[in-house]
Amino acid sequence: AGAGAGDQQHRCCSRTVHFVLVPMMAQGHTIPMTDMARLLAEHGAQISLVTTPVNAGRMAGFVAAVEEAGLPVQLLELPFPAADFGLPDGCENIDMLQCKDDMRKFLEACGALREPLMARLRQHDLPPSCIVSDMMYWWTSDIARELGIPRLTFSGFCTFASLARDIVYRNNLLRDLTDEEEVVKLSGFPTPLELPKARLPGSLCVPGLEEIREKIYDEEMRSDGKVMNSFDELETLYMESYKQVTDKVWTIGPMCLCHRDRNTMAARGNKASLDEVKCLQWLDSKKPGSVIFVSFGTLVSTAPQQLVELGLGLEASNKPFIWVIKAGNKFPVVEKWLADGFEERVIDRGMIIRGWAPQMMILWHQAIGGFMTHCGWNSTIEGICAGVPMITWPHFAEQFLNEKLVVDHLKIGMEVGVKGVTQWGSEQKEAQVTRNSVETAVSTLMNEGEAAQGMRMRAKDFGIKARRALEEGGSSYNNIRLLIQEMGNEQNASAMSSAGHAVDQQRKSTTM
């Protein structure tokens, strides 16, 4: 049972609680915030979701779905000053950047939204109760301070990775390390954890990002709380520790579970690059649990040689698969290889999706029995909700921590055996993972061996727990209600203190 759309308008002392959500313009950050918008609105909050024209275009499916459900969600669209910062017109999302160096320009252009956003919020019919901002947008804290409302941050990380990041930053663990392979021990972490520097948060070398990393962290520390896309039953131990170092944490996930039917699942994110009906027909023709789904999110760039090795491994495994390839256009050599026999050889059991796949819709299909993922947190938690075991293939950032959580702690996945980091924006020259490793991992996960059975059972169990968390009375359900209530109380308190201030002023002027 869901929250029941719009049936419990959350008002505090007759005020509607108004959340302003400011997602980072990258699909892995925006998509969970559209889900968050839907969930909060279902619990009666009014939502303004800040975006720009190109990104608003990508949200057409989301907008249609919330309209159809009658939810109080509004896009607050601001022109994006791409050209003012040396970016091509219309370059409004991280997945549109041509090179690593454009990140600085992009982040500066995002920062220039501060004044227009402030102006729009001042003019808004309904004063905002709070801002939930992507942590990267450190500048939204100025807006919250000026409007006198709380600022909550959203990192998109799981608790395990958030806690690790906190320990790394708080203790400056990476400061004097020059060797990317030097192993760093995270003391204070509730379970033993050590990783090479390059696999820890804060090691991503992207010009522009490095310069604002401290600001992001400082403003996050000053924020009024954190909203997490996780649920208490998944990361209990890590959540307990995280709560000791962070004032306020609201775990309100898995937020993807706001989608309860195939139509809204299919409309999530960009427009799919294939006919969803054909995709479902293909899946319907396969045995339950027989298909491995391979997808690496929106930002990783895999070397052409690596894609070939991956394809050959899938072929050798003899299992049905859906493989999402983003690089088709960028690497003619891969396209040529696919056309030169590969596609023909796997025609009866392999589907290749070039471009955007309706990932959630696919993962939820009963034919899917395994998920080979780059371990972005959204993909990981989507896999958890779908109750499918995973093969982990992290590339960069906190993906290595998510791998650890999945493999070592939740025990619902196995590593493919990645040897090094493939940083965002820098393509590898060679394949790191051989076709044999791919074949072994796929065969092990998709066969009936004891290890795979155990992973499958535990994955199903977490899927059930995930659903429970968002059902009436579940942990995340309750946290959503508390969050809305608390933001409503803050609003009343600030309204009362400004009313009190006005009365004091009046008293002063009458006694003078």
422 is a contact residue toward ligand UDP (CB under 6 A): no
185, β-bridge pairs: 194
Sheet holding 130-134, edge to edge: 73-77, 46-51, 18-22, 130-134, 151-154, 225-228, 249-251
Task: Give the integer Cα–Cα distance in Å for 449 and 445.
Answer: 8
Q: Which CB, 48 or 380, lies closer to ligand UDP?
A: 380
Q: Which stretch binds ligand UDP (CB under 6 A): 376-384, 425-433, 489-497, 504-512?
A: 376-384
Q: Which stretch binds ligand UDP (CB under 6 A): 223-231, 343-351, 352-360, 490-498?
A: 352-360
One residue of 66, 307, 327, 357 binding ligand UDP per CB under 6 A: 357
151, β-bridge pairs: 131
What x/- string results for residues 4 through 43 when contact with ligand UDP is judged by CB under 6 A?
Answer: -----------------------xx--x------------
DSSP state of 148: T
Q: Which CB, 23 or 297, lies closer to ligand UDP?
A: 297
134 is a contact residue toward ligand UDP (CB under 6 A): no
Least distance between ligand UDP and beta carbon 362 (Å): 9
Least distance between ligand UDP and beta carbon 402 (Å): 9
377 is a contact residue toward ligand UDP (CB under 6 A): yes
One residue of 269, 383, 463, 488 binding ligand UDP per CB under 6 A: 269
What x/- string results for residues 281 through 320 when contact with ligand UDP is judged by CB under 6 A?
Answer: --------------x-xxx---------------------
Q: Which CB, 94 or 147, lies closer to ligand UDP?
A: 94
Q: Which CB, 360 or 405, lies closer to ligand UDP?
A: 360
Closest by CA to 414, choosing from 430, 434, 394, 431, is 394
Q: For residues 391 and 446, is the Cβ–Cβ distance under 8 A?
A: no
- Contacting residues for 479 by C-beta, under 8 A, at least 6 apart: 250, 251, 252
- Contacting residues for 374 by C-beta, under 8 A, at least 6 apart: 295, 296, 297, 300, 393, 394, 395, 399
Task: Give the integer Cα–Cα distance in Å for 256 and 379.
Answer: 10
Q: Which CB, 226 or 268, lies closer to ligand UDP?
A: 268
224 is a contact residue toward ligand UDP (CB under 6 A): no
Q: How many residues touch ligand UDP (CB under 6 A)?
A: 19
413 is a contact residue toward ligand UDP (CB under 6 A): no
Least distance between ligand UDP and beta carbon 335 (Å): 17
359 is a contact residue toward ligand UDP (CB under 6 A): yes
Helix (H) or strand (E) segment spanning residue 36: helix 27-42
378 is a contact residue toward ligand UDP (CB under 6 A): yes
Q: List the end-to-end C-alpha distance of the chain, in Å, as a whole number.
A: 61
15, β-bridge pairs: 12
- Contacting residues for 273 by C-beta, under 8 A, at least 6 apart: 353, 354, 355, 356, 357
61 is a contact residue toward ligand UDP (CB under 6 A): no
One residue of 382, 398, 403, 486 binding ligand UDP per CB under 6 A: 382
Least distance between ligand UDP and beta carbon 490 (Å): 30
Q: Which stretch binds ligand UDP (CB under 6 A): 8-16, 68-76, 126-134, 355-363?
A: 355-363
One residue of 37, 360, 390, 405 binding ligand UDP per CB under 6 A: 360
Instruction: Return the percent helix, strand and coil in the chain, to nearest 5.
Output: 50, 15, 40
- DSSP string covering 367-396, please? TEEEEEE---HHHHHHHHHHT--EEE---S
Q: Which CB, 169 or 393, lies closer to ligand UDP?
A: 393
Least distance between ligand UDP and beta carbon 94 (Å): 9
Counting other chains too, the contacts that 340-348 makes at CB distance below 8 Å and 24 or more residues apart are 342/311, 342/315, 345/315, 346/314, 346/315, 346/321
189 is a contact residue toward ligand UDP (CB under 6 A): no
Q: Which CB, 28 or 387, lies closer to ligand UDP?
A: 28
Task: Give the integer Cα–Cα distance in Å for 488 and 428.
Answer: 49
Q: Which CB, 186 or 294, lies closer to ligand UDP?
A: 294
Task: Give the integer Cα–Cα distance in Å for 368 and 290.
Answer: 6
Q: Which CB, 27 or 491, lies closer to ligand UDP?
A: 27
Least distance between ligand UDP and beta carbon 284 (Å): 20
324 is a contact residue toward ligand UDP (CB under 6 A): yes
Q: Which stretch binds ligand UDP (CB under 6 A): 136-144, 283-291, 351-359, 403-411?
A: 351-359
Locate 455 and state its tokens: 């992973």
Locate 109 and state its tokens: 């252009």
Q: Which CB, 17 or 258, lies closer to ligand UDP?
A: 258
Task: Give the integer Cα–Cα distance in Å for 461 and 321.
Answer: 24
Locate 218 and state its tokens: 């400082």
Q: CB count, 10 Å around CB of 300?
A: 20
Residues that bind ligand UDP (CB under 6 A): 27-28, 31, 268-269, 295, 297-299, 324, 356-357, 359-360, 376-379, 382
